[in-house]
Amino acid sequence: MKKLAIFDLDGTLLNTISDLGSACNYALEKMGYMKHPISAYNYMVGNGVRRLLERAHPDADAAVVDGLLGYFREYYDVHCTDTTEPYPGIPELLAELTERGVAVAVATNKYQSAASKIISHFFPDTPFVTVLGQSDERPTKPDPSIIFEVLSQHPMPKAQVMMIGDSAIDMETARRACVESIGVTWGFRPVSELRKACAVHVVSSPSEILKFLDDPF
């Protein structure tokens, strides 16, 4: 039986795309660059803020990206919960997992302070065993180091662990960490991406995740 569920954040637990896109557009506008439609950011997010900004302005050198990053954080640190909201069924899923004795954790490429703030704001009653965001001390997903850090803080046989996310990045992270992957279709990326990334399971509603708790892996 699964005893630990590790969740991606953006596009999995929470629909954050509008606030992320607004922060990116704020940064671009501040530095005199062209903004993008919010919908365009679905394919730019997933590898951390710096990579997001590099995709938003591909011609930017490192110094420009540093400037964009400063403006991004200036905006996002204040407005990261403005339009963000949990996906339908997520609060109920987290409550049910907790009720069944399944530990829950977050492993995200979002920078740590924003990840902690958002999780505590939207899920104040969920006893996450850890919330890990981007850190200069480890590579970003799909490197599996973040999963290993979760497991170092909350030791668990890998057969009892599942990783839930909305992108190929999450599926590859799970594969490299040798834990079961569940791809969700309500996030930012299409089902085809999840299947191409060899998701072990693909679900279209949070409640479907519960049926895999007894799944051997």
pLDDT at 4: 98
Q: Mean pLDDT in the chain?
A: 95
The predicted model gives 34-50 an average pLDDT of: 91
Indicate whether 217 belongs to any domain: no
pLDDT at 47: 85
Encoded tokens for 93: 């899923």
pLDDT at 217: 63
**Sign of the CA dihedral running 39, 105, 111, 118:** positive
The predicted model gives 78-107 an average pLDDT of: 98
Do 200 and 110 share a structural domain? yes
- Domain enclosing residue 100, as ranges: 4-15+85-212
Indicate whether 142 belongs to any domain: yes
The predicted model gives 62-85 an average pLDDT of: 96
Domain end point (choices 79, 112, 128): 79
pLDDT at 94: 98
Q: Tally the domains of the chain.
A: 2
Task: Read off the CATH number of the domain in which 11 is found.
Answer: 3.40.50.1000
CA distance 86 to 135: 24
CA distance 1 to 212: 9
End-to-end C-alpha distance for the chain, whole angstroms:
10
Alpha helices of the chain — where are they, by DSSP H? Answer: 17-30, 49-56, 62-79, 90-99, 112-122, 145-153, 168-177, 191-196
The predicted model gives 4-19 an average pLDDT of: 97
The predicted model gives 196-204 an average pLDDT of: 97
pLDDT at 48: 87
Do 51 and 104 share a structural domain? no
According to DSSP, residue 101 is labeled: T
- Could you report the per-residue pLDDT of 119-162, keeping only the tens digit for each? 999 999 999 999 999 988 899 999 999 999 999 999 999 999 99
Residues 199/205/210/213 CA torsion (nearest 10 deg): 0
Do 90 and 180 share a structural domain? yes
- Could you report the per-residue pLDDT of 160-194, keeping only the tens digit for each? 999 999 999 999 999 999 999 999 999 999 999 99
Do 202 and 120 share a structural domain? yes
- Could you report the per-residue pLDDT of 102-111, keeping only the tens digit for each? 999 999 999 9
The predicted model gives 2-20 an average pLDDT of: 97
